[in-house]
Amino acid sequence: MIPVRCFTCGKVISGAWEEYKKRTKLEDPAKVLDDLGISRYCCRRMMLTHVELVDESSPYY
Amino acid sequence: MKVEIIELGDRAAKFVLSGVAPAFVNSIRRAMLAEVPTLAIDYVNIYDNTSVLFDEQLALRLGLIPLITDLDSYVLPSECSCGGEGCSQCQVSLTLSAEGPKTVYSTELVSADPSVMPAEVVPLIKLSERHRISLEAIARLGTGHDHAKWQAGIACGYKNVPKITISDECDACGMCVDACPRGVLVIADDVVKVVDERACSLCRLCEGVCELNKIYDVIKVGTHPDSFIVTAETDGSIPIRELITRSAENISDRAEALDGYLSVIDMEMEMDHHAT
Amino acid sequence: MGYRCVRCKQPVEIDYEYRGIRCPYCGHRILLKERPVKIKRVCAE
């Protein structure tokens, strides 16, 4: 799961994750992040570097 | 002291504070980050959790959800009449139960007090077939001192108001204009002009790139030592206006308390003096 | 403490006399510990 808040500044960023993931299939990530109001580079890296792993492990629970 | 507001939204603000000492601005910043209390989930009673996250991970995620806080109706557990045991004055209970397959959001938390609710839609956990969670979360007031989940202010900071001076020796070669990453400088009528002084990041690239600067002080980036551009943001638990005013109140309360302690010391010293 | 067999999903009690772990119904060697039915209090930090 995407971390709830940005590690560095503490802004709540997880709400933007689903839209980010959907839109980056077609659009430029930089543009999507600007649209979603994620302006600082600490918050932007949270989105850019996240790897979603819940779907990988859920069949084994 | 003078305040000039540049931007004031619901969650973010930017303003110029002039005629104050750096220590004062810093204490405002520190009060916004660590002194103004907010509600956050403190502990969680977990009845059932068969999801992919451990109980502790789930509890951490719950704790980080910002909760809309009315600071007049709640008190800190340490200052409560119940002595911190937990009563309706100092804590709120939120319940959550969900069954997969679906994604559980923070909005599904059911609060005992309808005025306390999550400020943001946070995906808490993705449940698949047979996964179940059922829990009761207890939210309390706290300050950023104790844990970042109680931190109302986010990315609060300040910088001195920049002052760029360009002398008459400037030959308008345009090197500084190209070097500036913020587009602060511009050439108009064969002279370098400052367009947006406050946007300057004080990087001083323009100073370094100027050839004439080696002989004279042609372009100089300085600061107004007693004016500051303050930027602040909240996590949504309280409006930014309230955060700023409450942080200022907090400083004055603490200063008054210090004054009280000092006068007690003064009195004691005087009494000692009379005794000897 | 209750366990459950991963293959046949039967609840299993562990026989401590037997040196090893094995499901008495199907012989499978992987058992999962069941979550106890009590309220667990976790600090959110």
Q: Who wins on pLDDT, A61 or B207?
A: B207
Check if B133 contacts A (Cβ < 8 Å).
Answer: no
- Predicted local confidence at residue C8, as pLDDT: 86
DSSP letter for each residue of chain A: ---SB-TTT--B-GGGHHHHHHHTTTS-HHHHHHHTT--SHHHHHHHHT----HHHHGGG-
Check if A10 contacts B (Cβ < 8 Å).
Answer: yes
| Residue among B127, B120, B147 nearest B60 (CA) | B147
Residues B228, B100 share a domain:
no
Q: Is the pLDDT of residue B84 over 80?
A: no
Nearest CB to A61; choose among B61, B123, B131:
B131
For residue A5, the chain B residue with the least C-alpha distance is B64
CB within 8 Å of B7: residues ≥ 6 apart: B13, B14, B15
Nearest CB to C45; choose among B45, B46, B63:
B63
In a domain, B87, yes or no: yes
CATH number for the domain harbouring residue B72: 2.170.120.12
Provide the residue range defining the domain that includes C25.
1-45
Instruction: Read off the pLDDT of residues B168-179 as tens digits, 9 standing for 90 and up.
Output: 888 888 899 999
Check if A11 contacts B (Cβ < 8 Å).
Answer: yes
- Predicted local confidence at residue A37, as pLDDT: 92
Distance CA B246, CA B23 (A): 18
Give percent of chain B above pLDDT 70: 100
Give the start-to-end residue ranges of the domains of chain A.
14-60
| Residue among B240, B241, B172 nearest B210 (CA) | B172
What does pTM read for this prediction?
0.85
Q: Is B122 close to A58, i.e. CB distance below 8 A?
A: no
Q: Is the pLDDT of residue A7 over 90?
A: yes
CATH number for the domain harbouring residue C3: 2.20.28
Q: Which of B140, B175, B210 is the last residue of a domain?
A: B140
Q: How many CB atoms lie within 10 A of CB A57?
A: 11
User: What's the whole-number mean pLDDT along residues B245-255?
Assistant: 95
Q: Is the pLDDT of residue B273 over 80?
A: yes
User: What's the whole-number mean pLDDT along residues A26-33?
Assistant: 94
Nearest CB to B50; choose among A12, A15, A61:
A61
Query: Is residue B50 within 8 Å of B24, Cβ to Cβ?
Result: no
Residues B61, B16 share a domain:
no
Give percent of chain A above pLDDT 70: 100
Residues 145-184 of B with CB under 8 A from C: 147, 149
Q: Is C43 close to B43, i.e. CB distance below 8 A?
A: yes
| Residue among A54, A58, A50 nearest A33 (CA) | A50
C40 CB neighbours in chain B (<8 A) are 45-46, 55
Residues B162, B30 share a domain:
yes
| Residue among B255, B167, B256 nearest B213 (CA) | B167
Give percent of chain A above pLDDT 90: 85
Check if B233 contacts C (Cβ < 8 Å).
Answer: no
Positive or negative torsion for Cα B246, B251, B256, B258:
positive
B66 CB neighbours in chain A (<8 A) are 12
Query: Is residue B228 within 8 Å of B159, Cβ to Cβ?
Result: yes
Q: Is C39 close to B137, i.e. CB distance below 8 A?
A: no
ipTM over 0.85: yes
User: What's the whole-number mean pLDDT along residues B192-215?
Assistant: 90
Q: Which of B140, B173, B202 is the last residue of a domain?
A: B140
Query: Is residue B27 within 8 Å of B198, Cβ to Cβ?
Result: no
Q: Is the pLDDT of residue C5 over 80?
A: yes
- Predicted local confidence at residue B272, as pLDDT: 87
Distance CA B37, CA B44 (A): 20
For residue C34, the chain B residue with the least C-alpha distance is B50
Distance CA B61, CA B109 (A): 13
Q: Is A58 close to B52, i.e. CB distance below 8 A?
A: yes
In chain B, what is the greatest distance between 2 CA atoms, to the nearest angstrom? 82
Q: How far is CA B77 from CA B65, B151, B273, in A?
A: 19, 16, 41
Residues B13, B91 share a domain:
no
Q: How many CB atoms lie within 10 A of CB B229?
A: 21
| Residue among B13, B21, B14 nearest B229 (CA) | B14
A14-60 architecture in CATH?
A: Orthogonal Bundle (1.10)
Q: Return the beta strands (E) in C1-45 as ranges.
A: 3-5, 11-12, 31-33, 40-43
Q: What angle do the packed helices B240-275 and B22-34 form, to 10 degrees?
A: 110
Q: Using 50, 70 and 90 to split pLDDT, how confident is the model at A60?
A: confident
Distance CA B272, CA B192 (A): 67
C41 CB neighbours in chain B (<8 A) are 43-46
Provide the residue range defining the domain that includes B91.
39-140
Neighbouring subunits of A (3+ Cβ pairs under 8 A): B
Q: How far is CA B167 from CA B163, B188, B220, in A?
A: 13, 15, 9
Q: Is the pLDDT of residue C1 over 80?
A: no
Shortest distance, CA A27 to any CA of chain B (angstroms): 23
